[in-house]
Amino acid sequence: MGNEVEAGIEVISRIKQMIEESGINQNSFYQTLRKEPLPREVLKEVFQQYFYYIRTFPQILAGLAARVDDEVIRLKSARTVVSELGDGRGDAHYVMFEKALKGIGVELDDYRTVQHAPEAENLVANLRRLFLEESPNYSIGAHYVIEEFGFPMIVNLYEGFRLYDGWDHEDFNYFYLHILIEANHVDWVHDALLSAAKDEASCEELLKGAGQVLDALNQFWAGLNRIATA
């Protein structure tokens, strides 16, 4: 058991290093968003793509629970899904994000009828593959990346949204909530990963999943920056 924990801790350390070396937490879109206000029509096009990501992810993640034998992994992934859907006490997080957008004068179209940018389609397709088709270990490695880079993402989006006029503080509950709970999400997937890291083959799959989702996410942010600067 001790060797398994050590292996999991090593995987987590390597994933954190991959995230740092990728530059995702300092990506060009964050810099563009925080530099100066963008036209509302550009914001709408940009965040149609982001909304597609956050709207579909809880559904995709929910599919993992039925695919694993390990009850710790099932529990931790299910807890994240419940959290993303409002924990039975509040709005789903994607609804909160729509309210944040409305606070700065942007209302999205129905994500089910919108033609999304190729980078957004690629990200969601990769998430579906990693979480629903590959070995579950791929998805756990991928999920660790998503939660680990989540806090810097929220901070950068929040700082960008603050550049616009007309919003009230309650409009931005999406950001305030995530600043508070993102550490919980990281803790849950941390536990799931430690439970998954049973041997060398498992660790390799965890790292492959992390690397593949990291590539798709970096392409996604580059796509958003392409739209924002066109």
Q: In this structure, what CATH number is given to the domain that contains residue 184?
A: 1.20.910.10
Number of domains in the chain: 1
- The rounded distance, in Å, linking the Cα atoms of 12 and 152 is 18
For 155-167, write each residue's pLDDT tens digit.
999 999 999 999 9
From the list 101, 103, 56, 99, the residue with the least C-alpha distance to 81 is 56
The one-letter amino acid code at 131 reads: F
CA-CA-CA-CA torsion sign (176, 219, 216, 200) = negative
Enclosing domain of residue 149: 2-229
The overall pTM is greater than 0.75: yes
Mean pLDDT computed over 42-66: 96
At 112-142, the pLDDT tens digits run: 999 999 999 999 999 999 999 999 999 999 9
What angle do the packed helices 2-22 and 200-229 form, to 10 degrees?
20
